[in-house]
Amino acid sequence: MAALVVRGVRDLLKRADFATVPRRYRYKKKWAATEPKFPATRLALQNFDMTYGVQFGDLWPSIRVSLLSEQKYGALVNNFASWDHVSAELEQLNARDFVNKAPSHGELEPENGQTTASFPASWDCSPNLRCFTFTKGDVSRFPPARLGSLGVMDYYLMDAASLLPVLALGLQPGDTVLDLCAAPGGKTLALLQTGCCRNLAANDLSTSRTGRLQKILHSYVPQDIRDRSQVRVTSWDGRKWGELEGDTYDRVLVDVPCTTDRHSLHEEENNIFQRSRKKERQMLPMLQVQLLAAGLLATKPGGHVVYSTCSLSHLQNEYVVQGTIELLANQYSIEVRVEDLTHFRKLFMDTFSFFPSCQACWEDK
């Protein structure tokens, strides 16, 4: 009996063989069990349930479903390709051009006694943009873009809502334009599609992301157009742009880094809700204020700035705008007027669902 016990102990020691494992490589389960490991997507959803549940109240469940649903893309027609032929092909897919099918300002119904004539003419949307989407409830997908007969890609697939800031910027022919946080490049491409840019500066701090932007421009924009529009791609710190080129641009787009809510719920890669990026996430509103302030300082007096995010957070939207206005008033004695773009929202309500009390903002310096 004793021999059997000894043999059993020896077999157990052979299987464990702890003595042969250096101490620094030994693993104790209790060390790893002190903190549960959750994927970043789950942490993002928990965060949104707490914050947006309070912010949106009874509307949050339906918004939550939308964020968790598969993303729907729009097809931005490349005007440097055979755009009429491309548009006809997209129409055959039962897609519609939501930009040009939108009602004009004169067709909008007045509300609260306001007349449509009171809408400022400067609020005309940026021209020459064509973006096709499928109707609400249609989950069809566009086929991948292909190289057209003119040597450039036919259309660019993007979240259709990403085109709204470019439309709101209201470009006019001959404008000098700054895209302060340009990568990965969809909005920069849309700015060029308007045909209004006399000069376009596209900047992003990340060199890898500006590399991707350069690839998009080469795939969609002919070389002579890039040269004629004097497209300048840089990787500078956008927070310092007001010092580098103050009072320079007619139109500035400030599409800031944010929590990218939909991405954070669907992708683990580069997810800002990773535990290692907690400090970065907490500092986002400060970074956003700095970037918006730089964009405003880079704008000519009387110029226009659009601030945009991919987040629903009040802290990253309304509070950033208000904080920046106070900063410029106190430190630079600059007055910034925030315009109510409720009518702009009404132009596209057949395509998008807007928060009822949302007021799209563009800053007029």
Mean pLDDT per 10-residue segment, the chain (365 residues): 49 48 51 67 97 95 93 94 96 96 63 47 80 91 94 96 95 97 96 96 95 96 85 96 96 98 95 96 98 98 96 95 96 92 86 75 48
Looking at the structure, give the CATH architecture of the domain made up of residues 170-353.
Answer: 3-Layer(aba) Sandwich (3.40)
Rounded to an integer, what distance in angstroms lies between the CA atom of residue 202 and that of residue 52? Answer: 33
Which distant-in-sequence residues (6+ apart) come within 8 Å of 140 by Cβ? 93, 94, 95, 134
Residue 310 appears among annotated catalytic residues:
yes
Determine how many CB atoms are found less than 10 A away from the CB of residue 15: 7
Rounded to an integer, what distance in angstroms lies between the CA atom of residue 19 and that of residue 16? Answer: 9
Residue 144, marked binder: no
Residue 237, marked binder: yes
Residue 187, marked binder: yes
Question: Is residue 256 packed enough to be buried (19+ CB in 10 Å), middle (13-18) or exposed (0-12)?
Answer: buried
Rounded to an integer, what distance in angstroms lies between the CA atom of residue 345 and that of residue 341? Answer: 7
Q: Which one of the listed residues 131, 196, 258, 310 is annotated catalytic?
A: 310
Name the residue with tokens 């002579």. Answer: 224
Which distant-in-sequence residues (6+ apart) come within 8 Å of 213 by Cβ? 182, 183, 184, 185, 188, 202, 204, 233
Rounded to an integer, what distance in angstroms lies between the CA atom of residue 313 and that of residue 307? Answer: 14
Residue 184, marked binder: yes
List the chain domain ranges: 170-353
In the chain the first and final C-alpha atoms are separated, in Å, by 93
Question: Is residue 195 packed enough to be buried (19+ CB in 10 Å), middle (13-18) or exposed (0-12)?
Answer: middle
Tell me which residue of 103, 38, 97, 102 sits closest to 271, measured CA to CA: 38
Residue 182, marked binder: yes
Half-sphere CA count of 306, side-chain side, radius 13 A: 26
Residue 186, marked binder: yes
Tell me which residue of 272, 264, 126 sits closest to 187, measured CA to CA: 126
pTM of the model: 0.86
Q: Are strands 96-97 and 131-133 parallel, antiparallel or unpaired?
A: antiparallel
